[in-house]
């Protein structure tokens, strides 16, 4: 692919400031990101720190790995990584402190949290909401909006639940049900995002997140427009810690 002057300028842009690549679909954004990642890796001299390249889906990660491989002539190796945003948040931000965040006591020395899809139908509320007992996997809490957000897979039901007046007793039940899920060692990807945001607010983890930022001082996010509001907040938190791109 022959790059335009604007694309070449992006590839050559310095790493010590944020840089956003905006272009229409099919314009070669992923190819430009792959070229810049490859260029950065070839000039990298800050090991054991590395760069993280985050994508929206597993297929996008595979595609980006393939393109970076093409430019480098070999697979991208340590200390760098290409992964989905969900995987990075879970493995790099939350997993090591999940026990403290969730209260999960572990099982036979294993404290790993198991990720459930939101379609899972376990740990239901004791109190009905709109006549339904809702699974802990089908709602999240908006920390800034200070409200619960339901996502059951049924749009009509979601609209009904999200517009319903929720009593304090029901709110307490929703919190208790969600915490029960966590204490059992389970969480959804939405839960992991919320746990990360909660941990960012907790001064106990300042040192931990500073080490994460030193480990990955440069973070590329491909298809940033596909991230959720919570994931964008995580990007801002990483930026506050000194991660660039």
30 is in an annotated binding site: yes
Q: What are phi and psi of 27, to 5 degrees?
A: -90, 0
Neighbours of 210 (CB within 10 A): 12
Q: Where are the alpha helices (DSSP H) in 89-150?
A: 98-102
229 is in an annotated binding site: no
Q: Specify whether the CB–CB gap between 133 and 161 falls below 8 A.
A: no
45 is in an annotated binding site: no
25 is in an annotated binding site: yes
* Cα–Cα dist 169/47, whole Å: 52
178 is in an annotated binding site: no
28 is in an annotated binding site: yes
* Cα–Cα dist 51/78, whole Å: 9
81 is in an annotated binding site: no
187 is in an annotated binding site: no
Neighbours of 182 (CB within 10 A): 19
Q: Specify whether the CB–CB gap between 76 and 36 falls below 8 A.
A: no
Q: Which of 179, 184, 207 is nearest to 194 (CA)?
A: 179
Bond from prior residue into 65 cis (ω within 30 degrees of 0): no
Name the binding residues.
23-30
Residues at the binding site for ATP are 23-30
């Amino acid at each position: 692919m022959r790059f335009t002057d604007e694309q070449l300028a992006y590839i050559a842009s310095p790493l010590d400031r944020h840089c956003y690549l905006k272009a229409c679909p099919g314009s070669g954004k992923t190819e430009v990101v792959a070229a810049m990642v490859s260029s950065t890796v070839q000039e990298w001299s800050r090991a054991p720190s590395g760069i993280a390249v985050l994508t929206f889906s597993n297929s996008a990660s595979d595609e980006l790995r393939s393109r970076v491989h093409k430019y480098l002539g070999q697979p991208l190796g340590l200390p760098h990584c290409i992964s989905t945003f969900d995987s990075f948040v879970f493995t790099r931000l939350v997993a090591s402190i999940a026990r403290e965040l969730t209260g999960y006591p572990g099982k036979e020395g294993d404290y790993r949290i198991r990720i459930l899809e939101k379609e899972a139908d376990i740990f239901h509320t004791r109190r009905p909401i709109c006549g339904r007992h809702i699974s802990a996997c089908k709602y999240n809490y908006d920390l800034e909006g200070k409200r619960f957000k339901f996502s059951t897979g049924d749009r009509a039901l979601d609209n009904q639940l999200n517009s319903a007046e929720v009593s304090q007793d029901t709110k307490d039940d929703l919190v208790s049900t969600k915490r029960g899920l966590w204490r059992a060692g389970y969480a959804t990807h939405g839960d992991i995002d919320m746990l990360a945001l909660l941990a960012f607010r907790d001064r106990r983890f300042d040192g931990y997140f500073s080490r994460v930022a030193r480990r990955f001082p440069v973070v590329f996010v491909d298809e940033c427009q596909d991230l959720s509001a919570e994931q964008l907040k995580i990007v801002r938190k990483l930026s506050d810690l000194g991660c660039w791109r």
